[in-house]
């Protein structure tokens, strides 16, 4: 059975649209931690949250509250910056997924360049692992990136499914073949295979054709569906599609 990680970033995005810059978010809504607990009730295997350098959605306090509140596991998405690394080492999440960050993007677009940043990433991977955290690298399904992830000693790769999700017709099938080949290569190196970005209730069926999948991390689609049915039910529906 493929696990479902629910990304709650966009719950915080809605909150920050109204309460950004306020020093005390105790009474701000919606509460991403409450959303995480609802997602767990709906069948989430873990909760994903990305503490970005610009704090556009998830805030420091959210991460520490999640660490204490959730009953599953915390997947801490993070850029490879000293400030965020220090926080990750304090939080000690079960999983950490290193991702690229671009201040101009709305959400993470494209995978981490492990080849160009191999030296800078190695120290971070080791530090997180020494703290007891399982390290994942969010990468495009390119052989050179997968090989670099293996050299870095990461336990896991999260294959970036954005190009697949945004493509249509034959182009989507071609992107799926790239993901299949990437998953096969990653598995041959002993890497755990996760995937995420742009997966929704429609394209998830094709996504499940990717071999060796352990976990899908899905956020925007679940939060969008939750506008109509609530986080718990939206999570339950997606978990059902994964066979949970």
Q: Which residues are catalytic?
A: 50, 77, 197
Lookup: tokens for 127: 């530090």
User: How much is the CA Rg of the chain, to the nearest whole Å?
Assistant: 17
Q: Cβ of 54: how many Cβ atoms within 10 Å?
A: 7
Distance CA 103, CA 175 (A): 26
Distance CA 121, CA 99 (A): 11
Q: How many CA atoms lie within 13 A of 234 on its CB side?
A: 25
In the chain, the largest separation of any two C-alpha atoms, in whole Å, equals: 49
Query: Which stretch of DSSP H or E encloses residue 225?
Result: helix 220-229
Q: Cβ of 143: how many Cβ atoms within 10 Å?
A: 12
């Amino acid at each position: 059975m493929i696990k479902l990680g629910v990304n709650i970033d966009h719950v915080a995005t809605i909150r920050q649209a109204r309460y950004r810059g306020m020093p005390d978010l105790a009474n701000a809504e919606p509460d991403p931690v409450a959303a995480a607990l609802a997602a767990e009730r709906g069948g989430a295997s873990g909760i994903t949250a990305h503490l970005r350098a610009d704090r556009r959605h998830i805030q420091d306090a959210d991460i520490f509250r999640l660490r204490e509140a959730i009953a599953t596991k915390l997947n801490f998405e993070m850029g490879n910056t000293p400030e965020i690394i220090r926080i990750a080492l304090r939080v000690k999440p079960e999983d950490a997924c290193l991702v690229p960050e671009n201040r101009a993007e709305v959400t993470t677009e494209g995978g981490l360049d492990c080849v160009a940043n191999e030296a800078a990433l190695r120290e971070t991977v080791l530090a997180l692992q020494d703290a007891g955290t399982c390290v994942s690298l969010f990468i495009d399904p390119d052989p050179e990136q997968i090989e670099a992830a293996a050299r870095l000693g990461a336990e896991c790769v999260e294959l970036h499914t954005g190009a697949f999700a945004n493509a249509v017709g034959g182009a989507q099938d071609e992107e799926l073949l790239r993901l299949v080949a990437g998953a096969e290569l990653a598995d041959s190196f002993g890497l755990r295979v996760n995937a995420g970005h742009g997966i929704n209730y429609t394209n998830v069926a094709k996504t499940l054709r990717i071999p060796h999948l352990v976990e899908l991390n899905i956020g925007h689609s679940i939060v969008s569906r939750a506008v109509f049915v609530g986080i718990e039910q939206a999570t339950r529906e997606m978990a059902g599609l994964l066979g949970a």
